[in-house]
Amino acid sequence: MSKLKLDMPKTDGVDPIGCLFKANECFSFYGVPDDQRLTAVSLMLEGAALDWFRWRQRNRSLLSWTDFVTKFKLRFDPSNYVDFLGVLSKVMLFQALYGRPQPDLIPYNRGASKVPAVDDILAEQDALLRRLRGNLQAAQNWMKLLADRV
């Protein structure tokens, strides 16, 4: 019984994990030993991935199939990159404007003032600040959600 003929999967590095999975499956199907996989993988690379591979081969920086897999993931898998926009979105506006973290608002304790009118005003301001902070946080989360969609 003859084996099926499978085409080598092609990739330009856009889906590195899927590409490596398909390559391993193909190599397993054909019984390609590890020491020959590095040569065989060049047949499946295109575009940026092929340019990267040829550069690595010229510089003799790919030592084995395992080394290729590690370096290919580092180069093409987006999960290996820092999401600078995500990190930047966590910086609070206050810190961006003033260069230091926003100070915590100390809640007003009712009865701290001996003058009842002042006590009432400070308690109302404290309640207003809590609502305002909650509303600002909700607005910031909503804007982040909208920005992430774009």
Per-residue pLDDT tens digits for 81-102: 766 666 666 666 667 777 887 7
> What CA–CA distance (Å, rounded) separates 141 from 133?
12
Q: Tell me the backbone φ, ψ of residue 100, rounded to 5 degrees.
A: -150, 155
Give domain limits for the chain.
8-101, 104-149
**Cβ contact 117:125 at 8 Å:** no
Average pLDDT, integer, range 63-75: 92
DSSP string across 6-37: -PPPPBSSSSHHHHHHHHHHHHHHHT--HHHH
Each residue of 98-117: pLDDT tens digit?
Answer: 788 777 767 778 888 888 88
Task: State the pLDDT at residue 65.
Answer: 93
Task: State the pLDDT at residue 2.
Answer: 63
> What CA–CA distance (Å, rounded) separates 39 from 42?
6
